[in-house]
Amino acid sequence: MNDQINPHIAPNMVFKNLIGGKEVPASDGMLLDVVSPVDGTLFAKIAAGTAQDVDAAVKAARSAFEGPWGKLTATERGRLLMKLATIVEAHADELATLESRDNGKPLRQSRADAVALARYFEFYGSAADKLHGDVIPYLNTHFIGVERVPHGVTGHIVPWNYPMQIFGRSVGAALAAGNATVVKPAEDASLTILRVSQLASEAGFPDGALNIVTGLGRTAGAALAAHPGIDFLSFTGSPETGTAVQIAAAKNHVGVTLELGGKSAQVVFDDADLERALPTLVNAIIQNGGQTCSAGSRLLIQRGIFDDVVSAIAERFRALRAGHPEREPDLGPMINQAQQRRVLGYLERARNEGLRIVGEGVVAIDAPAEGFYVPPAFLAPVPHESILSQEEVFGPVLVATPFEDEADAIRLANGTPYGLAAGVWTRDAMRSTRVGRAMRVGQVFVNCYGAGGGIELPFGGFGRSGHGREKGFEGLVEFTTTKTLVIAHG
Protein backbone atom coordinates (compact mmCIF):
# COMPACT_ATOMS: atom_id res chain seq x y z
CA MET A 1 0.00 0.00 0.00
CA ASN A 2 1.55 3.30 -0.82
CA ASP A 3 1.66 6.13 1.65
CA GLN A 4 -0.38 8.54 -0.44
CA ILE A 5 -3.56 6.57 -0.11
CA ASN A 6 -4.12 7.51 3.51
CA PRO A 7 -3.64 11.17 4.35
CA HIS A 8 -4.00 10.26 8.02
CA ILE A 9 -0.77 8.30 8.23
CA ALA A 10 2.32 10.21 7.33
CA PRO A 11 5.29 7.87 6.86
CA ASN A 12 6.72 6.92 10.23
CA MET A 13 4.00 8.71 12.11
CA VAL A 14 4.26 8.25 15.87
CA PHE A 15 1.09 7.36 17.78
CA LYS A 16 0.91 8.17 21.49
CA ASN A 17 -1.03 6.77 24.42
CA LEU A 18 -4.21 8.44 25.60
CA ILE A 19 -4.16 8.93 29.36
CA GLY A 20 -6.53 11.24 31.20
CA GLY A 21 -7.54 12.95 27.95
CA LYS A 22 -3.96 13.73 26.91
CA GLU A 23 -1.87 12.12 24.19
CA VAL A 24 1.39 11.18 25.87
CA PRO A 25 4.48 9.13 24.99
CA ALA A 26 5.56 6.11 27.03
CA SER A 27 7.05 7.06 30.40
CA ASP A 28 10.52 6.06 29.20
CA GLY A 29 9.98 7.37 25.65
CA MET A 30 10.36 3.91 24.09
CA LEU A 31 8.58 3.08 20.83
CA LEU A 32 7.54 -0.05 18.96
CA ASP A 33 7.76 -0.35 15.18
CA VAL A 34 4.54 -0.84 13.28
CA VAL A 35 5.11 -3.15 10.32
CA SER A 36 2.46 -3.54 7.64
CA PRO A 37 1.75 -7.22 6.90
CA VAL A 38 0.77 -6.12 3.39
CA ASP A 39 4.33 -5.48 2.27
CA GLY A 40 6.55 -5.79 5.35
CA THR A 41 7.25 -2.05 5.50
CA LEU A 42 7.75 -0.19 8.75
CA PHE A 43 5.30 2.66 8.43
CA ALA A 44 4.55 3.99 11.93
CA LYS A 45 5.51 3.72 15.57
CA ILE A 46 3.46 3.27 18.73
CA ALA A 47 4.34 3.90 22.35
CA ALA A 48 5.89 0.91 24.14
CA GLY A 49 3.71 1.43 27.21
CA THR A 50 5.20 0.66 30.63
CA ALA A 51 3.80 -0.42 33.98
CA GLN A 52 4.08 3.24 34.97
CA ASP A 53 1.88 4.26 32.02
CA VAL A 54 -0.67 1.63 32.99
CA ASP A 55 -0.65 2.94 36.54
CA ALA A 56 -1.22 6.51 35.31
CA ALA A 57 -4.08 5.32 33.09
CA VAL A 58 -5.75 3.40 35.92
CA LYS A 59 -5.49 6.48 38.17
CA ALA A 60 -6.94 8.69 35.43
CA ALA A 61 -9.81 6.24 35.02
CA ARG A 62 -10.46 6.19 38.76
CA SER A 63 -10.60 10.02 38.85
CA ALA A 64 -13.06 10.00 35.96
CA PHE A 65 -15.17 7.30 37.61
CA GLU A 66 -15.31 9.20 40.88
CA GLY A 67 -15.62 12.52 39.08
CA PRO A 68 -17.19 13.85 35.87
CA TRP A 69 -17.79 10.48 34.16
CA GLY A 70 -19.35 8.88 37.23
CA LYS A 71 -21.69 11.85 37.65
CA LEU A 72 -23.31 11.46 34.24
CA THR A 73 -26.72 9.83 34.04
CA ALA A 74 -27.16 6.64 32.05
CA THR A 75 -28.99 8.66 29.40
CA GLU A 76 -26.09 11.10 29.11
CA ARG A 77 -23.59 8.25 28.75
CA GLY A 78 -25.81 6.67 26.13
CA ARG A 79 -26.02 9.92 24.15
CA LEU A 80 -22.24 10.23 24.12
CA LEU A 81 -21.91 6.70 22.76
CA MET A 82 -24.56 7.37 20.12
CA LYS A 83 -22.72 10.53 19.11
CA LEU A 84 -19.50 8.55 18.85
CA ALA A 85 -21.34 5.99 16.70
CA THR A 86 -22.25 8.72 14.23
CA ILE A 87 -18.69 10.07 14.16
CA VAL A 88 -17.21 6.60 13.66
CA GLU A 89 -19.63 5.91 10.82
CA ALA A 90 -18.59 9.18 9.17
CA HIS A 91 -14.93 8.09 9.46
CA ALA A 92 -15.53 4.53 8.27
CA ASP A 93 -13.43 4.88 5.11
CA GLU A 94 -10.52 6.44 6.97
CA LEU A 95 -10.64 3.76 9.68
CA ALA A 96 -10.90 1.02 7.06
CA THR A 97 -7.81 2.24 5.21
CA LEU A 98 -5.85 2.50 8.44
CA GLU A 99 -6.93 -0.99 9.52
CA SER A 100 -6.08 -2.60 6.20
CA ARG A 101 -2.63 -1.14 6.31
CA ASP A 102 -2.02 -2.04 9.94
CA ASN A 103 -3.68 -5.46 9.96
CA GLY A 104 -3.77 -6.53 6.29
CA LYS A 105 -7.53 -7.20 6.03
CA PRO A 106 -9.21 -6.73 2.67
CA LEU A 107 -10.65 -3.22 2.61
CA ARG A 108 -14.26 -4.47 2.53
CA GLN A 109 -13.65 -6.39 5.77
CA SER A 110 -12.01 -3.39 7.45
CA ARG A 111 -14.94 -1.23 6.41
CA ALA A 112 -17.39 -3.81 7.75
CA ASP A 113 -15.46 -3.75 11.05
CA ALA A 114 -15.73 0.07 11.24
CA VAL A 115 -19.47 -0.07 10.55
CA ALA A 116 -19.85 -2.81 13.17
CA LEU A 117 -17.94 -0.65 15.66
CA ALA A 118 -20.39 2.20 15.07
CA ARG A 119 -23.26 -0.24 15.56
CA TYR A 120 -21.79 -1.47 18.87
CA PHE A 121 -21.71 2.11 20.12
CA GLU A 122 -25.27 2.63 18.89
CA PHE A 123 -26.49 -0.64 20.42
CA TYR A 124 -24.88 -0.08 23.82
CA GLY A 125 -25.54 3.67 23.76
CA SER A 126 -29.24 3.08 23.27
CA ALA A 127 -29.26 0.33 25.92
CA ALA A 128 -27.46 2.37 28.61
CA ASP A 129 -30.62 3.64 30.29
CA LYS A 130 -32.63 0.44 29.81
CA LEU A 131 -30.54 -1.59 32.23
CA HIS A 132 -32.25 -1.65 35.60
CA GLY A 133 -32.31 -3.63 38.80
CA ASP A 134 -35.04 -5.41 40.76
CA VAL A 135 -37.29 -5.06 43.75
CA ILE A 136 -37.42 -8.27 45.79
CA PRO A 137 -40.46 -9.28 47.87
CA TYR A 138 -39.28 -9.78 51.46
CA LEU A 139 -40.65 -8.96 54.91
CA ASN A 140 -43.56 -6.54 54.96
CA THR A 141 -41.46 -4.26 57.12
CA HIS A 142 -38.63 -3.98 54.58
CA PHE A 143 -38.08 -2.66 51.08
CA ILE A 144 -35.41 -4.44 49.06
CA GLY A 145 -33.93 -2.75 46.01
CA VAL A 146 -31.30 -4.42 43.88
CA GLU A 147 -29.37 -1.85 41.91
CA ARG A 148 -27.25 -2.65 38.84
CA VAL A 149 -23.98 -0.78 39.24
CA PRO A 150 -20.79 -0.60 37.18
CA HIS A 151 -17.73 -2.51 38.41
CA GLY A 152 -15.71 0.71 38.53
CA VAL A 153 -12.50 0.76 36.47
CA THR A 154 -12.39 -1.98 33.85
CA GLY A 155 -9.33 -3.23 31.95
CA HIS A 156 -9.66 -4.41 28.35
CA ILE A 157 -6.99 -6.46 26.60
CA VAL A 158 -7.72 -6.69 22.89
CA PRO A 159 -6.21 -8.97 20.19
CA TRP A 160 -5.15 -8.00 16.68
CA ASN A 161 -7.64 -9.90 14.55
CA TYR A 162 -10.73 -7.66 14.89
CA PRO A 163 -9.46 -4.65 16.85
CA MET A 164 -12.40 -2.38 16.12
CA GLN A 165 -15.14 -4.94 16.68
CA ILE A 166 -13.65 -6.31 19.88
CA PHE A 167 -13.05 -2.78 21.20
CA GLY A 168 -16.68 -1.96 20.36
CA ARG A 169 -18.24 -4.95 22.07
CA SER A 170 -16.13 -4.76 25.19
CA VAL A 171 -15.36 -1.07 25.75
CA GLY A 172 -18.72 0.07 24.31
CA ALA A 173 -20.60 -2.10 26.81
CA ALA A 174 -18.34 -1.14 29.72
CA LEU A 175 -18.78 2.59 29.07
CA ALA A 176 -22.54 2.26 28.61
CA ALA A 177 -22.71 0.53 32.00
CA GLY A 178 -20.83 3.44 33.58
CA ASN A 179 -17.34 2.01 34.01
CA ALA A 180 -14.21 4.03 33.29
CA THR A 181 -11.89 2.06 31.03
CA VAL A 182 -8.23 1.30 30.36
CA VAL A 183 -7.52 -0.47 27.09
CA LYS A 184 -4.41 -2.36 25.95
CA PRO A 185 -4.66 -2.96 22.20
CA ALA A 186 -2.57 -5.67 20.54
CA GLU A 187 0.92 -4.56 19.55
CA ASP A 188 0.26 -5.76 15.99
CA ALA A 189 -2.89 -3.69 15.46
CA SER A 190 -3.33 -0.67 17.71
CA LEU A 191 -3.86 2.14 15.25
CA THR A 192 -7.61 2.12 14.69
CA ILE A 193 -8.24 1.91 18.43
CA LEU A 194 -6.00 4.94 18.96
CA ARG A 195 -7.81 6.81 16.21
CA VAL A 196 -11.22 5.92 17.67
CA SER A 197 -10.08 7.18 21.06
CA GLN A 198 -9.31 10.55 19.43
CA LEU A 199 -12.80 10.51 17.97
CA ALA A 200 -14.20 9.76 21.45
CA SER A 201 -12.47 12.88 22.78
CA GLU A 202 -14.06 14.86 19.92
CA ALA A 203 -17.44 13.39 20.85
CA GLY A 204 -17.05 14.89 24.32
CA PHE A 205 -16.25 11.93 26.58
CA PRO A 206 -14.84 13.33 29.83
CA ASP A 207 -11.08 12.95 30.27
CA GLY A 208 -10.13 9.60 31.76
CA ALA A 209 -13.34 7.73 30.85
CA LEU A 210 -11.38 6.02 28.07
CA ASN A 211 -7.62 5.51 28.34
CA ILE A 212 -5.42 3.65 25.88
CA VAL A 213 -1.98 2.24 26.63
CA THR A 214 -0.27 0.50 23.71
CA GLY A 215 2.70 -1.81 24.05
CA LEU A 216 3.80 -5.38 24.49
CA GLY A 217 1.57 -7.94 26.15
CA ARG A 218 4.23 -9.12 28.56
CA THR A 219 4.78 -5.55 29.85
CA ALA A 220 1.76 -3.28 29.33
CA GLY A 221 -0.74 -6.17 29.12
CA ALA A 222 0.62 -7.98 32.17
CA ALA A 223 0.75 -4.72 34.15
CA LEU A 224 -2.90 -4.03 33.34
CA ALA A 225 -4.02 -7.56 34.24
CA ALA A 226 -2.20 -7.39 37.58
CA HIS A 227 -3.06 -3.80 38.54
CA PRO A 228 -4.80 -3.65 41.93
CA GLY A 229 -6.81 -0.62 40.80
CA ILE A 230 -8.70 -2.64 38.18
CA ASP A 231 -12.16 -3.84 39.23
CA PHE A 232 -12.95 -6.14 36.29
CA LEU A 233 -11.06 -7.45 33.27
CA SER A 234 -12.14 -8.30 29.77
CA PHE A 235 -9.60 -10.37 27.84
CA THR A 236 -9.83 -11.58 24.27
CA GLY A 237 -6.93 -13.57 22.91
CA SER A 238 -5.19 -16.90 23.15
CA PRO A 239 -6.00 -19.52 25.81
CA GLU A 240 -2.41 -19.40 27.12
CA THR A 241 -2.50 -15.65 27.75
CA GLY A 242 -6.04 -15.97 29.08
CA THR A 243 -4.75 -18.30 31.79
CA ALA A 244 -2.09 -15.75 32.79
CA VAL A 245 -4.67 -12.96 32.86
CA GLN A 246 -7.09 -14.99 34.97
CA ILE A 247 -4.34 -15.85 37.47
CA ALA A 248 -3.45 -12.16 37.74
CA ALA A 249 -7.12 -11.25 38.20
CA ALA A 250 -7.54 -13.91 40.88
CA LYS A 251 -4.72 -12.38 42.90
CA ASN A 252 -6.73 -9.14 43.03
CA HIS A 253 -10.02 -11.03 43.54
CA VAL A 254 -11.66 -9.48 40.49
CA GLY A 255 -13.75 -11.06 37.79
CA VAL A 256 -12.63 -11.62 34.24
CA THR A 257 -14.31 -12.41 30.95
CA LEU A 258 -12.19 -14.68 28.77
CA GLU A 259 -12.96 -14.78 25.06
CA LEU A 260 -10.44 -17.29 23.76
CA GLY A 261 -9.87 -19.54 20.78
CA GLY A 262 -11.93 -22.10 18.92
CA LYS A 263 -11.96 -25.12 16.63
CA SER A 264 -15.52 -24.76 15.46
CA ALA A 265 -17.23 -27.54 13.52
CA GLN A 266 -19.63 -27.24 10.61
CA VAL A 267 -21.75 -30.38 10.46
CA VAL A 268 -23.13 -31.20 7.01
CA PHE A 269 -25.87 -33.87 6.93
CA ASP A 270 -26.73 -35.75 3.75
CA ASP A 271 -30.00 -33.82 3.32
CA ALA A 272 -28.32 -30.39 3.47
CA ASP A 273 -29.06 -27.71 0.89
CA LEU A 274 -25.54 -27.75 -0.55
CA GLU A 275 -26.05 -24.85 -2.91
CA ARG A 276 -26.73 -22.70 0.11
CA ALA A 277 -24.08 -24.33 2.30
CA LEU A 278 -21.00 -24.38 0.05
CA PRO A 279 -20.21 -20.64 -0.20
CA THR A 280 -20.82 -20.19 3.53
CA LEU A 281 -18.65 -23.18 4.47
CA VAL A 282 -15.77 -21.67 2.51
CA ASN A 283 -16.29 -18.12 3.75
CA ALA A 284 -16.46 -19.29 7.37
CA ILE A 285 -12.79 -20.23 7.22
CA ILE A 286 -11.53 -17.71 4.67
CA GLN A 287 -12.94 -14.57 6.25
CA ASN A 288 -10.10 -12.56 7.78
CA GLY A 289 -7.65 -15.18 6.49
CA GLY A 290 -8.96 -17.71 9.01
CA GLN A 291 -7.72 -15.46 11.82
CA THR A 292 -11.14 -15.54 13.46
CA CYS A 293 -11.74 -17.19 16.83
CA SER A 294 -15.06 -18.60 15.64
CA ALA A 295 -13.82 -19.61 12.16
CA GLY A 296 -15.52 -22.76 10.90
CA SER A 297 -12.24 -24.65 10.72
CA ARG A 298 -13.56 -28.23 10.84
CA LEU A 299 -15.96 -29.66 8.30
CA LEU A 300 -17.81 -32.78 9.44
CA ILE A 301 -19.56 -34.37 6.47
CA GLN A 302 -21.92 -37.35 6.50
CA ARG A 303 -20.21 -40.35 4.88
CA GLY A 304 -22.63 -40.76 1.93
CA ILE A 305 -21.96 -37.26 0.55
CA PHE A 306 -18.35 -36.92 1.78
CA ASP A 307 -16.60 -37.29 -1.58
CA ASP A 308 -19.02 -35.00 -3.44
CA VAL A 309 -18.86 -32.22 -0.86
CA VAL A 310 -15.07 -32.51 -0.58
CA SER A 311 -14.63 -32.14 -4.34
CA ALA A 312 -17.03 -29.16 -4.49
CA ILE A 313 -15.18 -27.40 -1.64
CA ALA A 314 -11.80 -28.26 -3.15
CA GLU A 315 -12.86 -26.66 -6.42
CA ARG A 316 -13.85 -23.48 -4.59
CA PHE A 317 -10.54 -23.45 -2.72
CA ARG A 318 -8.62 -23.61 -6.00
CA ALA A 319 -10.30 -20.35 -7.02
CA LEU A 320 -9.28 -18.48 -3.85
CA ARG A 321 -6.68 -15.74 -3.98
CA ALA A 322 -4.66 -14.19 -1.17
CA GLY A 323 -3.51 -10.71 -2.06
CA HIS A 324 -3.15 -7.00 -1.44
CA PRO A 325 -6.07 -5.69 0.68
CA GLU A 326 -6.81 -2.90 -1.77
CA ARG A 327 -7.40 -5.30 -4.65
CA GLU A 328 -10.31 -7.00 -2.91
CA PRO A 329 -8.76 -10.44 -2.64
CA ASP A 330 -10.53 -13.33 -0.92
CA LEU A 331 -8.09 -12.91 1.95
CA GLY A 332 -5.20 -10.64 2.84
CA PRO A 333 -1.87 -11.55 4.44
CA MET A 334 -1.41 -13.12 7.87
CA ILE A 335 -0.89 -10.55 10.63
CA ASN A 336 2.88 -11.02 10.91
CA GLN A 337 5.73 -13.26 9.89
CA ALA A 338 5.44 -15.47 12.96
CA GLN A 339 1.79 -16.19 12.12
CA GLN A 340 2.69 -16.87 8.47
CA ARG A 341 5.35 -19.35 9.59
CA ARG A 342 3.02 -20.92 12.11
CA VAL A 343 0.38 -21.64 9.44
CA LEU A 344 2.93 -22.94 6.94
CA GLY A 345 4.44 -25.06 9.72
CA TYR A 346 1.07 -26.72 10.39
CA LEU A 347 0.74 -27.54 6.69
CA GLU A 348 4.27 -28.94 6.52
CA ARG A 349 3.55 -31.15 9.50
CA ALA A 350 0.28 -32.34 7.94
CA ARG A 351 2.11 -33.29 4.73
CA ASN A 352 4.71 -35.18 6.76
CA GLU A 353 1.89 -37.08 8.45
CA GLY A 354 0.59 -38.10 5.03
CA LEU A 355 -2.46 -35.80 5.04
CA ARG A 356 -3.50 -34.59 1.64
CA ILE A 357 -4.25 -31.04 0.49
CA VAL A 358 -7.11 -31.59 -1.94
CA GLY A 359 -7.75 -27.94 -2.78
CA GLU A 360 -5.26 -25.09 -2.58
CA GLY A 361 -5.70 -21.44 -3.47
CA VAL A 362 -2.98 -19.09 -4.67
CA VAL A 363 -1.08 -16.04 -3.56
CA ALA A 364 -1.78 -13.41 -6.24
CA ILE A 365 1.23 -12.75 -8.47
CA ASP A 366 1.02 -9.04 -7.72
CA ALA A 367 0.95 -9.56 -3.92
CA PRO A 368 4.00 -7.73 -2.48
CA ALA A 369 6.83 -10.25 -2.04
CA GLU A 370 7.66 -8.95 1.45
CA GLY A 371 4.06 -9.40 2.67
CA PHE A 372 3.00 -12.31 4.89
CA TYR A 373 0.72 -14.20 2.51
CA VAL A 374 -0.21 -17.88 2.61
CA PRO A 375 -2.31 -19.81 0.10
CA PRO A 376 -5.55 -21.20 1.59
CA ALA A 377 -5.51 -24.98 1.98
CA PHE A 378 -8.25 -27.62 2.26
CA LEU A 379 -7.28 -31.06 3.55
CA ALA A 380 -9.37 -34.25 3.41
CA PRO A 381 -9.89 -36.73 4.86
CA VAL A 382 -8.33 -35.69 8.16
CA PRO A 383 -8.67 -37.99 11.19
CA HIS A 384 -10.46 -36.45 14.14
CA GLU A 385 -7.49 -37.15 16.44
CA SER A 386 -4.92 -35.40 14.24
CA ILE A 387 -3.33 -32.13 15.32
CA LEU A 388 -5.02 -30.28 12.47
CA SER A 389 -8.44 -31.38 13.75
CA GLN A 390 -7.67 -30.53 17.36
CA GLU A 391 -5.51 -27.39 17.42
CA GLU A 392 -6.46 -23.87 16.41
CA VAL A 393 -4.34 -22.98 13.37
CA PHE A 394 -5.69 -19.42 13.10
CA GLY A 395 -5.12 -19.35 9.37
CA PRO A 396 -6.91 -20.29 6.11
CA VAL A 397 -6.75 -24.03 6.69
CA LEU A 398 -9.87 -26.19 6.53
CA VAL A 399 -10.05 -29.90 7.34
CA ALA A 400 -12.81 -32.38 6.52
CA THR A 401 -13.71 -35.54 8.43
CA PRO A 402 -16.53 -37.99 7.61
CA PHE A 403 -19.16 -39.02 10.16
CA GLU A 404 -21.69 -41.86 10.17
CA ASP A 405 -24.82 -40.66 11.96
CA GLU A 406 -26.22 -38.01 14.27
CA ALA A 407 -24.60 -39.39 17.41
CA ASP A 408 -21.23 -39.61 15.66
CA ALA A 409 -21.58 -36.02 14.40
CA ILE A 410 -22.27 -34.73 17.93
CA ARG A 411 -19.38 -36.74 19.37
CA LEU A 412 -16.92 -35.33 16.81
CA ALA A 413 -18.25 -31.76 16.98
CA ASN A 414 -17.86 -31.75 20.78
CA GLY A 415 -14.59 -33.65 20.58
CA THR A 416 -12.05 -30.86 21.10
CA PRO A 417 -11.15 -28.87 24.22
CA TYR A 418 -12.77 -25.80 22.62
CA GLY A 419 -16.45 -24.82 22.53
CA LEU A 420 -17.07 -21.53 20.78
CA ALA A 421 -19.41 -21.94 17.79
CA ALA A 422 -20.87 -24.61 15.51
CA GLY A 423 -22.83 -24.86 12.25
CA VAL A 424 -25.50 -27.47 11.43
CA TRP A 425 -26.63 -28.01 7.85
CA THR A 426 -29.78 -30.10 7.35
CA ARG A 427 -33.33 -29.71 6.04
CA ASP A 428 -34.69 -31.69 8.99
CA ALA A 429 -35.89 -29.16 11.58
CA MET A 430 -36.19 -31.69 14.39
CA ARG A 431 -32.70 -33.00 13.78
CA SER A 432 -31.18 -29.51 13.62
CA THR A 433 -32.82 -28.68 16.95
CA ARG A 434 -31.58 -31.91 18.57
CA VAL A 435 -28.06 -31.53 17.25
CA GLY A 436 -27.93 -27.80 17.96
CA ARG A 437 -28.99 -28.35 21.55
CA ALA A 438 -26.39 -31.10 22.01
CA MET A 439 -23.50 -28.87 20.98
CA ARG A 440 -21.33 -27.61 23.83
CA VAL A 441 -20.69 -24.18 22.32
CA GLY A 442 -21.77 -20.58 22.86
CA GLN A 443 -23.45 -20.14 19.46
CA VAL A 444 -25.01 -22.64 17.05
CA PHE A 445 -25.96 -21.63 13.53
CA VAL A 446 -28.47 -23.72 11.58
CA ASN A 447 -28.31 -23.48 7.79
CA CYS A 448 -26.19 -20.35 8.10
CA TYR A 449 -22.95 -19.32 9.77
CA GLY A 450 -21.84 -15.96 11.03
CA ALA A 451 -18.42 -15.81 12.56
CA GLY A 452 -19.24 -14.23 15.89
CA GLY A 453 -22.67 -13.59 14.46
CA GLY A 454 -24.25 -10.24 15.21
CA ILE A 455 -23.77 -7.39 17.61
CA GLU A 456 -27.08 -8.19 19.30
CA LEU A 457 -26.29 -11.86 20.06
CA PRO A 458 -24.49 -13.07 23.20
CA PHE A 459 -21.10 -14.57 22.34
CA GLY A 460 -18.58 -16.60 24.30
CA GLY A 461 -17.37 -20.08 24.92
CA PHE A 462 -17.16 -23.24 26.94
CA GLY A 463 -13.97 -24.99 28.02
CA ARG A 464 -10.79 -23.77 26.33
CA SER A 465 -12.82 -21.11 24.47
CA GLY A 466 -13.26 -19.21 27.72
CA HIS A 467 -16.10 -18.05 29.93
CA GLY A 468 -18.37 -15.08 30.36
CA ARG A 469 -20.34 -13.50 27.54
CA GLU A 470 -19.87 -10.36 25.49
CA LYS A 471 -22.09 -8.80 22.83
CA GLY A 472 -25.83 -8.38 23.05
CA PHE A 473 -27.62 -7.20 26.17
CA GLU A 474 -25.90 -9.96 28.12
CA GLY A 475 -22.59 -8.27 27.34
CA LEU A 476 -23.85 -5.09 28.98
CA VAL A 477 -24.89 -6.96 32.12
CA GLU A 478 -21.40 -8.52 32.24
CA PHE A 479 -19.94 -5.08 32.91
CA THR A 480 -22.12 -4.52 35.95
CA THR A 481 -22.61 -6.06 39.34
CA THR A 482 -25.42 -5.65 41.88
CA LYS A 483 -25.85 -3.79 45.10
CA THR A 484 -28.76 -4.67 47.38
CA LEU A 485 -30.40 -2.05 49.56
CA VAL A 486 -32.31 -3.41 52.57
CA ILE A 487 -34.52 -0.68 54.01
CA ALA A 488 -36.45 -1.27 57.21
CA HIS A 489 -39.52 0.96 57.33
CA GLY A 490 -41.80 -0.57 59.90
Catalytically active residues are 259
241 counts as binding ligand NAD under rule CB under 6 A: yes
Residues 167-184 as b or e (16 or more Cβ within 10 Å = b): bbbbbbbbbbbbbbbbbb
Alpha carbon 120 to chain centroid distance?
13
**Contact stretch for ligand NAD (CB under 6 A) within 102-110, 172-180, 219-227, 398-406:** 219-227
**Contact stretch for ligand NAD (CB under 6 A) within 10-18, 137-145, 235-243, 343-351:** 235-243
Radius of gyration over alpha carbons of the chain, in Å? 23
**Contact stretch for ligand NAD (CB under 6 A) within 112-120, 122-130, 254-262, 474-482:** 254-262
Per CB under 6 A, which of residues 448..477 are in contact with ligand NAD? 466
Residues 248-281 as b or e (16 or more Cβ within 10 Å = b): bbeeeebbbbbbbbbbbbbbbbeebebeebbebb
Ramachandran category for residue 344: left, alpha or beta (phi over 0 → left; psi -120 to 50 → alpha): alpha
When binding is defined by CB under 6 A, the residue of 57, 84, 186, 300 that contacts ligand NAD is 186
| Least Å from the CB of residue 455 to ligand NAD | 13
User: In this complex, which beta carbon is closest to ligand NAD, that of residue 6 or of residue 339?
Assistant: 339
Q: How would you list the strands of the sheet with 31-35, edge to edge?
A: 13-15, 42-47, 31-35
When binding is defined by CB under 6 A, the residue of 15, 43, 123, 394 that contacts ligand NAD is 394
104 counts as binding ligand NAD under rule CB under 6 A: no
> Which residue's C-beta sits nearest to ligand NAD?
217
CA distance 122 to 208: 21
User: In this complex, which beta carbon is closest to ligand NAD, that of residue 9 or of residue 157?
Assistant: 157
245 counts as binding ligand NAD under rule CB under 6 A: yes
Strand 210-212 to 31-35 pairing:
unpaired
**Contact stretch for ligand NAD (CB under 6 A) within 57-65, 193-201, 217-225, 310-318:** 217-225
The candidate with the shortest Cα–Cα distance to 103, out of 317, 352, 335, 283, is: 335
Strand 17-19 to 22-24 pairing:
antiparallel
The candidate with the shortest Cα–Cα distance to 148, out of 134, 133, 127, is: 133
Number of residues forming the site for ligand NAD (CB under 6 A): 27
392 counts as binding ligand NAD under rule CB under 6 A: yes
Per CB under 6 A, which of residues 293..312 are in contact with ligand NAD? 293
User: In this complex, which beta carbon is closest to ligand NAD, that of residue 88 or of residue 225?
Assistant: 225
419 counts as binding ligand NAD under rule CB under 6 A: no
Residues 383-414 as b or e (16 or more Cβ within 10 Å = b): ebebebbbebbbbbbbbbbbbeebeebbebbb
244 counts as binding ligand NAD under rule CB under 6 A: yes
359 counts as binding ligand NAD under rule CB under 6 A: no
User: In this complex, which beta carbon is closest to ligand NAD, that of residue 103 or of residue 161?
Assistant: 161
CA distance 394 to 165: 18
217 counts as binding ligand NAD under rule CB under 6 A: yes
User: In this complex, which beta carbon is closest to ligand NAD, that of residue 44 or of residue 258?
Assistant: 258
Per CB under 6 A, which of residues 135..164 are in contact with ligand NAD? 157-161
| Least Å from the CB of residue 343 to ligand NAD | 13
Residue 193 half-sphere exposure toward CB, CA atoms < 13 A: 37
Measure Cα distances from 364 to 81, 336, 398, 419, 456 in Å: 41, 18, 20, 34, 36
User: In this complex, which beta carbon is closest to ligand NAD, that of residue 6 or of residue 340?
Assistant: 340
CA distance 224 to 221: 5
User: In this complex, which beta carbon is closest to ligand NAD, that of residue 260 or of residue 299?
Assistant: 260
CA distance 211 to 222: 16
For residue 17, which amino acid is it? N
User: In this complex, which beta carbon is closest to ligand NAD, that of residue 277 or of residue 397?
Assistant: 397
17 counts as binding ligand NAD under rule CB under 6 A: no
Q: Is 236 helix (H, G, I), strand (E, B) or coil?
A: strand
167 counts as binding ligand NAD under rule CB under 6 A: no
| Least Å from the CB of residue 192 to ligand NAD | 14
Residues that bind ligand NAD (CB under 6 A): 157-161, 184, 186-187, 217-218, 221-222, 225, 236-238, 241, 244-245, 259-262, 293, 392, 394, 466
